[in-house]
């Protein structure tokens, strides 16, 4: 059992409370990053299912960044006939691509429009 000023990880390890919910797996089993309810910055961050935030640019990039890997889920859900898939996995109507407005949270719908 850990001292009062320490967090006990699921694997029994004790870490500083300052290391809890800092988006770094300090426990070695990620239990210090579970249930972290941080409000992510809209447009800039993706909210992981178990709490925590990662950069919106890391969403659907093929590399899990959330401890629960939720940033890589549902990445191919766009209807390719009617929708444009943003770099972050978000789907927007194809008509919104290159319309002069940033409709994707990562602004990828306006890249390379010339």
CATH number among 2.40.50.70, 4.10.400.10, 3.40.50.10490, 3.20.20.70, domain 1-34: 4.10.400.10
Mean pLDDT of 7-35: 90
- Count CB neighbours of 82 within 10 A: 10
Domain boundaries, the chain: 1-34
| Least reliable range by pLDDT among 5-9, 36-40, 72-76, 107-111 | 36-40
pLDDT in tens, 26-80: 999 988 888 777 678 877 888 888 777 888 888 887 788 887 888 888 777 777 7
Phi, psi of 54 (to 5 degrees): -130, 160
**Does the pLDDT at position 10 exceed 90?**
yes
Q: Is 54 exposed, middle or buried (0-12, 13-18, 19+ CB in 10 A)?
A: buried
Highest mean predicted confidence (pLDDT) among 17-26, 60-69, 84-93 = 17-26
Mean pLDDT of the chain: 85
CB distance 66 to 53 below 8 Å: no
- Which of the pair, 15 or 93, is modelled with greater confidence? 15
């Amino acid at each position: 059992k850990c001292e009062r000023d320490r967090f006990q990880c699921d694997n029994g390890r004790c870490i500083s409370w300052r290391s809890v919910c800092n988006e770094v797996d300090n426990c070695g089993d990620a239990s210090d990053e579970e249930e972290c309810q941080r409000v992510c910055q809209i447009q800039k961050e993706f909210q992981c299912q178990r709490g925590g935030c990662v950069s919106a640019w890391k969403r659907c990039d093929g590399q899990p960044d959330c401890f629960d890997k939720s940033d890589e889920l549902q990445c191919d859900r766009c209807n390719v006939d009617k929708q444009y898939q943003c770099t972050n996995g978000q789907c927007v109507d194809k008509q919104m691509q290159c319309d002069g407005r940033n409709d994707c949270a990562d602004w990828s719908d306006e890249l390379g429009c010339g």
